[in-house]
Chain A
Amino acid sequence: MNGAPAVKVTYREAVRAAMREAMQRDARVFLMGEDVGRYGGTYACSLGLLDEFGPERVRDTPLSEGAFVGVGIGAAIGGMRPIVEIMTVNFSLLALDQILNNAATLRHMSGGQVGVPLVLRMATGAGRQVAAQHSHSLENYYAHIPGLKVLAPATVEDARGMLWTALLDPDPVILFEHATLYGTEGELAEDAGAVPIDRAAVRRAGRDVTVVGYGGTVAKALEAARMLAERGIDAEVIDLRTLRPLDDETLVASVRKTRRAVLVDEGWKTGSLAGEICARLVERAFYDLDAPIARVCTEEVPIPYPKHLEDAALPQPGRIVEAVLATVGGRG
């Protein structure tokens, strides 16, 4: 991309670097949430930021999601640029009223007078055996709502670069960080900075089938593509990156090329984002398809505690491979 040398960083470090840079660049930016300060963040994303920026700008809040998200909305209206962290998407439901009825809606119902330049970050997803009140993927709840922009950084580059772009946005943006990604490592240019937030990315080019994932499922889709390559099937892997608005162009272009699609989504199948993408592909690329679109989603069950059941509930590379094989099976 550019000349700067690449360094290995964890996703967590990339999130932290993004927040640090944002606070250095813009005095209006501050971080607020449960245990973001002294504790260093539930996932250690904000470790050290309290020392660097002080308690005015790194604010530990009481356990009161409804209040501190709403306060973030108010502060954004009042001219600040808050980054509000919610520990886990399950807890964001306590603030759903503020997010839907205020953040997403104020601009429209005020006739365009009141904008909410708020950034919300939260962890999402399963895979750590933390059971049914800490594991869900509710991204599509938010992707359903006009007025919000919804992002799912899956790489260290996006974890590093999406935040600043989100902060420049005049409207509320939610970043979903899959909890299993924080410890993962990737290569990042030393001078890496902001990235666009309006396009999906082709993470692996291929000819035979389009596999779509986002957040925590991108690595699984890539792993499936590797397994498929061994069987002579060349899968294209798309990382949605932005869940609202969806980048239809990239999706349709890929499917026009491969003529097959398998959609991977850690949300429950019924009412899933994968369902929405399926509908869009049917609307826009029906005659380009050679096989029914397949979906690999989470089984219709709250995430169970035991590992073998949790694994079975979630999309896995093996299930993606099976779905692809069924999809390309009809190929002559």
Chain B
Amino acid sequence: MTSAATLEPPPGFVPLDRAHALSLLHEMVLARRFEEKCAQLYGAGKIRGFLHLYVGEEAIAAGVMPLLDAEDAVVSTYREHGHALARGIPAGALMAELFGKVQGCSHGRGGSMHVFDVSRRFYGGNAIVAGGIPLAVGLALADRMQGRARVTACLFGDGAVAEGAFHESMNLAALWKLPVLFLCENNQYAMGTSLERSESQPNLALKARSYAMEVERVDGMDVLAVQAAARRGLDYVRAGRGPWFIELVTYRFRAHSAYDPELYRTKDEVATWKARDPIALFTALARERGLLGDDDVASLERGADDEISAAIALAEAGTLEPVEELTRGVYAEEAAR
């Protein structure tokens, strides 16, 4: 197990160049600003229901997603906006989903917690904690049985590790040596319950290890460390050797959802973690290495804002599904006729 606490890329990592730095920063900035806008739109009543923001955790999606091929699959949680954007789901289709419009990637039916885009092999958007993990193992089983050399990336939180579905799935995946990359986003809280108060063994990678799985534990605030770890995991899984588990230690900067008064953590603790903002850390590193300048960062932010403005415009202009279609999409359309 490595604990990559520094911003130096680990041995063997592809050296960072300007184009790479720009693209990593773009992914993180887009997700951050998209969600900051979401918070405002929630306040304005445009987005409703539960809204779980990924702010603070962007390095994980930005580090992992670009390494996946179009043929690979992703299974995610209700905190999935960042995953979806980095997987290439257009910001407009995502925003339209949050607005409940037909132009949304789930036809407006799912909302924030149920983002799907099968054309990008993005299989949700699951709001039952740990509910997606067996699905990911099953997708990988289908690939194995049909002789396809693909990987399924399965994202879930630290809270999911307490559920039976997690343990049963770890065992099956390891037993059958299925091509799954498990990505545990350990932001150290499940709603208001901290890891130490919910796990007898808070080292989650060690738990996965007990299923005879290859594991790694990395600094989830360091996009380069995340990417290096994901690369190692993917190499292993793609070689057909079985699943791989990465615990990504991170922190959610915002409340669990819009309803959370945050009684369970101190402002100091939040401030300490905000000082390790993945975007600020990476920007500083890239500038120090002379890969990015002031202008680059500013223009990248402008680009993201333009993309988000266009997304909001699309969502605003989008249409609500006619009420007559209420019971559509419950069965395959042909079968329903």
Contact = CB atoms under 8 A, between A and B. Distances in A.
Interface of A: 34-35, 38-40, 42, 60-67, 90-91, 94, 128-134, 299-302, 304-309, 312-313
Contacts of B326: 299, 301, 304, 309, 312-313
Given A63-B160, A131-B127, A304-B326, 4 more contacts: A94-B163, A129-B48, A131-B113, A132-B114
B193 A60 contact: yes
Interface stretch (B104-112, B289-297, B300-308): B104-112
B263 A39 contact: yes
Interface residues on B, range: 35 or more
B108 A302 contact: no
B206 interface: no
A34 B111 contact: no
A314 to B, nearest CB: 11
Which of B50, B192, B321, B330 has the most chain A CB atoms closer than 10 A to its own CB?
B192
A312 B326 CA distance: 8
Contact of B108 (A61, A63, A132, A306): A306
A166 B49 CA distance: 32
B114 A66 contact: no
Given A35-B193, A299-B326, A300-B330, A62 B198 contact: yes
A313 B330 CA distance: 13
Interface string B160-192: 101111000000000000000000000000111
Nearest to A130: B49
Contacts of B114: 131-133, 305
Given A128-B49, A129-B49, A133-B113, A38 B193 contact: yes
B128 A90 contact: yes
Which of B159, B163, B320, B321 has the most chain A CB atoms closer than 10 A to its own CB?
B163
A305 B193 contact: no
Interface string B296-337: 000000000000000000000000110100110110000000
Given A128-B49, A133-B114, A300 B127 contact: no
B31 interface: no
Contact of B263 (A38, A91, A307): A38
Contacts of A132: 109-110, 114
B11 to A, nearest CB: 37
Interface string B190-234: 111100011100000000000000000000000000000000000
B278 interface: no
Given A131-B127, A306-B100, A62 B199 contact: yes
B193 A39 contact: yes
A294 B47 CA distance: 36
Nearest to B157: A63
19 contacts: A39-B191, A39-B264, A40-B263, A60-B197, A62-B190, A63-B130, A63-B190, A91-B128, A94-B164, A128-B49, A129-B48, A131-B49, A132-B114, A301-B326, A301-B329, A301-B330, A305-B48, A306-B321, A309-B109
Nearest to A67: B164
